[in-house]
Structure 1
Amino acid sequence: MKGFMHYQLMNYIRSLKMIPPITIFCVWIIVLYIYKGVPILSSYAVTSITVYLIMTWLTMTVFSIEEESEKHILFVHLGNKKRYLWGKWATCFVFSFILIIIAIIYPIIMNNFSGTIHTLHIALAIYSHWTLALFGIFIGSLFSFSLNKYSWLSAVLVIVISLAYEGIVEKVSFVKWLLWLFPPVTQVLNYLNMGDSVQIGGEFWINFGVATVYSIIGFILIERMFSRRNG
């Protein structure tokens, strides 16, 4: 399994498909923090969304580097088709870890924030970036299995709806329960949009639980879809 993970990382890097998403991410981080004295948590909310978008894109490219024939050869070598999926996810997790480190550490090193950064700020930043990275990997994986030529457009649509959740519910309240099918992005970001003096309350832990359960169910669903398609 370790050998396959190393192969996936090297194969993906050699494909150069990582260059556009990684470049756009780095440029955006630099542009976002071009000025000093920016608020802490709202800035991290923006970079969390950026990680969400980039990880969806990156995941879809990770799943596209092999042709069908090469994929079936890898199935035989691995002995278990699920290991192929796990190796893909491991590659995505490595890149998500790198992006999250950059997003959180860069403004601290460059001293861009207006106030003193505390442990709570770091904890919320790690939580929001990591959770939205998982959502991005989930969406990217889901639409990578689609043979539809509009899979990229479908992924973008899901992202837009998940980001516009509160506005949609406010305008069309009867679709609220249907929107539970989409990643609970706004619930994850709620506490990052309350100012830097935010205090953690019971609502946070409810939202944390919802996001965790959604992620677990989502990845189980992807694994089963993958097994059925390649069974």
Structure 2
Amino acid sequence: MIRLASFLLASYIRSYRYFAPVGSMLIAMMLLYSYKPNPVMDSYAVTSAFLFVGGAWLSFSFLNHAGAVLEQLSVIHAGSMRKYAASQMLALLAVIVFLSAFFLLYPVVMNMFAETVSARQWLIASSGHLALGMLGAGISYFLQAAYIRNISRATAILLIIVILSIGARQIAAKLPEGLSWIRWAFPPVAEMIDTLMRSDTALLTGVWGVIGYTYLYAFALAAAYWIFSAYRDART
């Protein structure tokens, strides 16, 4: 699977479809750090949101870059559709880890923060970035051409999910009190951003509870994609 994941990544890089999502993330980060010094966790909360949006966009373009012929050959090489799906997720995970590391290290190397990043802040920020990056990838799994043929419709659905995920707390606040729980049905992006911003003073149990729930949500999407991949054929 590692070889196939590497092949898929190389194919994606040659397509240059990564340029728009990666370039947009870099521009947004440069604008964020155009002035210094910056607060540590507030800045990391914002860049984790960038990674969620950019990760969803990048994953969407990655999953849709391969044509039907390439997918058929990749499935034959992998031996099964589930192994092919696992290779896709492995390739995306490698990209998310790399981008997370870049977002975490850039402000430190460039001395953008007003204070030294503590071990607690490092652990929480790195976990938050990786979780939101994986979550961004996860919401794209079922929006590829193999499931939704109309790319415009899939793009619209992706945008709606991203907007609802980021605005879930504001949406829930306008609902009756008995329906406030509905914000947890959305991908927990808003909860994660708020948690990262308050993590310096919040109880660790609450912080790690939200981080754990975000990982659980991302893993559930990945598991569902892996399971249902066995019930579809390669595109023709």
Match of 1:219 in 2: 222
Task: Give 3-state SS (helix, strand or coil) of 2:173's partner.
Answer: helix
Alignment-mate amino acid for residue 131 of structure 1: A
- CA offset at residue 21 of structure 1? 1.2
State whether residues 191 and 198 of structure 1, in contact with CA within 8 Å, keep that contact through their aligned partners in structure 2.
no
Alignment-mate amino acid for residue 84 of structure 1: Y
Match of 2:30 in 1: 30
Structure 2 counterparts to residues 144-223 of structure 1, below 5 A: 144=144, 145-148=147-150, 149-173=152-176, 175-194=179-198, 197-223=200-226
**TM-score of the aligned structures, taking structure 1 as reference length:** 0.91
Query: Which of 219-228 and 57-66 deviates more?
Result: 219-228
Match of 2:12 in 1: 12
Query: Which of 64-73 and 198-207 deviates more?
Result: 198-207
CA distance, structure 2, for counterparts of residue 146 and residue 180 of structure 1:
26
Structure 2 counterparts to residues 107-126 of structure 1, below 5 A: 107-126=107-126
Task: Give 3-state SS (helix, strand or coil) of 2:140's partner.
Answer: helix
CA distance, structure 1, for counterparts of residue 233 and residue 184 of structure 2:
28
Match of 1:101 in 2: 101
CA distance, structure 2, for counterparts of residue 109 and residue 205 of structure 1:
27
CA distance, structure 2, for counterparts of residue 199 and residue 177 of structure 1:
21
State whether residues 128 and 211 of structure 2, in contact with CA within 8 Å, keep that contact through their aligned partners in structure 1.
no
State whether residues 85 and 225 of structure 2, in contact with CA within 8 Å, keep that contact through their aligned partners in structure 1.
no
State whether residues 169 and 183 of structure 2, in contact with CA within 8 Å, keep that contact through their aligned partners in structure 1.
no
Aligned length in residues: 230
- CA offset at residue 129 of structure 1? 0.4
- CA offset at residue 175 of structure 1? 4.6
Cα pair distance change 1:42/1:2, threshold 3 Å: same
Cα pair distance change 1:48/1:71, threshold 3 Å: same
Cα pair distance change 1:177/1:146, threshold 3 Å: farther
Q: Percent identity?
A: 22
Task: Give 3-state SS (helix, strand or coil) of 2:231's partner.
Answer: helix
CA distance, structure 2, for counterparts of residue 138 and residue 222 of structure 1:
9
5+ residue gaps, structure 2, are none
**TM-score of the aligned structures, taking structure 2 as reference length:** 0.90
